Amino acid sequence: MGIGNLSRAGWTLALRFPRRPASADWACSVTLSELRASANPRPGGWHLFPPPYQQMAPTLEECELLYALIRATRPARVLELGTGMGVTGCFIAEALRENGDGGTLLTIEPKRQFWPDAQELLLGLPASISATTDGLDLEPDLVFVDSGYEYRAADIREWLSNGYGGPVLVHDAERRYPELERGCGVFLASTSGLWIGRGA
């Protein structure tokens, strides 16, 4: 079985997000528990997002891997490029909170129509949302690139070649960005492809 076949094997999770009251008492860990308990296997991958976002959003397995990497490496600052509806940010920020080291997530989303859902999921977690990185003092310990396709190649180029040198994870790597083929990393044959490597 080749990489192309492996990347499409798995199950699908159709999830309806429960609406939560906007209170500082609510923590994302409740949602993580609900996500993990709501698995309904279907061909194609464990998707955490409703259509049409299923084809471009990380799967439950990819979110769990991000969570495990954050817990294991204990970064102080994580930069996520592409907030979307906030689900991956929720996994990242919850891992940072559980680490207990004061780690924070800065998640970038230029499309403000996604902000209300993301803000709801990130409420009470060590995370902030911005529309751009312009004017921000960025010194992340880990970068997760899942920006819109119109920004993705530029984001990959910036974080793999700007002298950053730290860990970079790229979602939808099966699209075979040339920057990734030249970079120092490994391609994981998940549903949509996840590349893990280092900046130069």
pLDDT in tens, 98-121: 999 999 999 999 999 989 988 988
In a domain, 166, yes or no: yes
pLDDT in tens, 123-169: 899 999 999 988 877 789 999 999 988 999 999 998 988 788 889 99
Q: pTM for this structure?
A: 0.77
Other Cβ atoms less than 10 A from the Cβ of 40: the count is 10
Q: How far is CA 161 from CA 6, 70, 150, 168, in A?
A: 29, 23, 19, 11
In a domain, 132, yes or no: yes
What's the pLDDT score for residue 27? Answer: 39
In a domain, 151, yes or no: yes
Distance CA 38, CA 23 (A): 23
Q: Tell which residue, 95, 114, 93, 112, has the closest CA to residue 104.
A: 93
In a domain, 131, yes or no: yes
In a domain, 44, yes or no: no
Distance CA 51, CA 195 (A): 24
| Residue 65 lies in domain | 58-198
Q: Assess contact for 104 and 80: CB atoms under 8 A.
A: no
In a domain, 12, yes or no: no
Side chain identity at 152, as an amino acid letter? Answer: R
Distance CA 14, CA 45 (A): 10
In a domain, 160, yes or no: yes
Q: The CATH number of the domain where 150 resides is what?
A: 3.40.50.150
What's the pLDDT score for residue 81? Answer: 96
What's the pLDDT score for residue 198? Answer: 87
In a domain, 53, yes or no: no
Structural domains counted in the chain: 1
In this predicted structure, the answer to whether residue 4 has a pLDDT above a threshold of 60 is no
Average pLDDT over residues 19-30: 37
pLDDT band at 8 (very low <50, low <70, confident <90, very high): very low
